[in-house]
Structure 1
């Protein structure tokens, strides 16, 4: 138990700042989303003011962007469906619908249009690296676009 006395402002700040932690076997682990500071676009709104869908969406963006930062130019991010034999979805879009729905847009290994709509209580995502499309000059980096959109959203709200 903590005997530290906190002001009301410190207590509210402690509730608003999300906590994250990670431990790896490797003494020199790669950089992970839990170790990164929250971008201004995410940190601006306290977690208590976010719906479960928005908060899950924002953290998924951090994980996807971090995963992409570690890929070479021949691979892009995809996700495997967990708990079933539905295959893999190349992530081409991500959205949420308050209060509790997350949606992944993309295509499967054969190129067929694919969409996963998932309740946040069932959220379980495995990120995978797939070779970029043979016709693509550069890999698609959806995580960077999503992160940029969060920052632009924060800027629009400030004005």
Structure 2
């Protein structure tokens, strides 16, 4: 027997407008510029949930980094536990539904989060840059360059 996908009218309407982004900030700053072509050139229904989550997370991380000062780097907090924070040094996905974050925690221990997209909850936080490096790492900009140069 062949399985068919059935979409509700609400899901079809939502799919018709994706990707869409709307943001309003209290400080009046404008949302990030246009989406990279590799995010919008492939129809949403052709992307895995992991790829779609990965692409959008990159844009949020980069936008967050734009608000940081020269002594801060992006990190993420873990919701629902006492696991602390992870300095984001890498990010990836594994089709169809896993997103990964790699980095170090506040004590410098190697850390990796492997998360199913249905459980995805990311808190972006500013963390002091490492004192031994002159410039803060900006993973969001590196991830966006990769996104713009790679078909997902």
Q: TM-score range by the shorter chain?
A: 0.7 to 0.9
The CA deviation at 1:32 is 3.4
The CA deviation at 1:31 is 3.0
CA contact (8 A) 1:16 1:48 kept: no
SS in 2 for 1:30: coil
1:15 equivalent in structure 2: 16
Counterparts of 2:66 and 2:144, CA distance in 1: 12
> Aligned to 1:56, which of 35, 53, 56?
53
1:29 equivalent in structure 2: 28
CA contact (8 A) 2:65 2:73 kept: yes
Counterparts of 1:81 and 1:59, CA distance in 2: 19
SS in 2 for 1:136: coil
Structure 2 gaps, min length 5: 1-11
Counterparts of 1:104 and 1:59, CA distance in 2: 14
> Aligned to 1:74, which of 71, 75, 78?
71
* Bigger share in helix: 1
Q: How large is the RMSD of aligned CA atoms in angstroms? A: 1.9
Structure 1 gaps, min length 5: 1-10
1:88 equivalent in structure 2: 85
Counterparts of 1:31 and 1:85, CA distance in 2: 34
TM-score of the pair, normalised by structure 2: 0.85
Counterparts of 1:141 and 1:119, CA distance in 2: 25
TM superposition outliers: structure 1 runs of 4+ over 4 Å? none
Counterparts of 1:105 and 1:137, CA distance in 2: 22
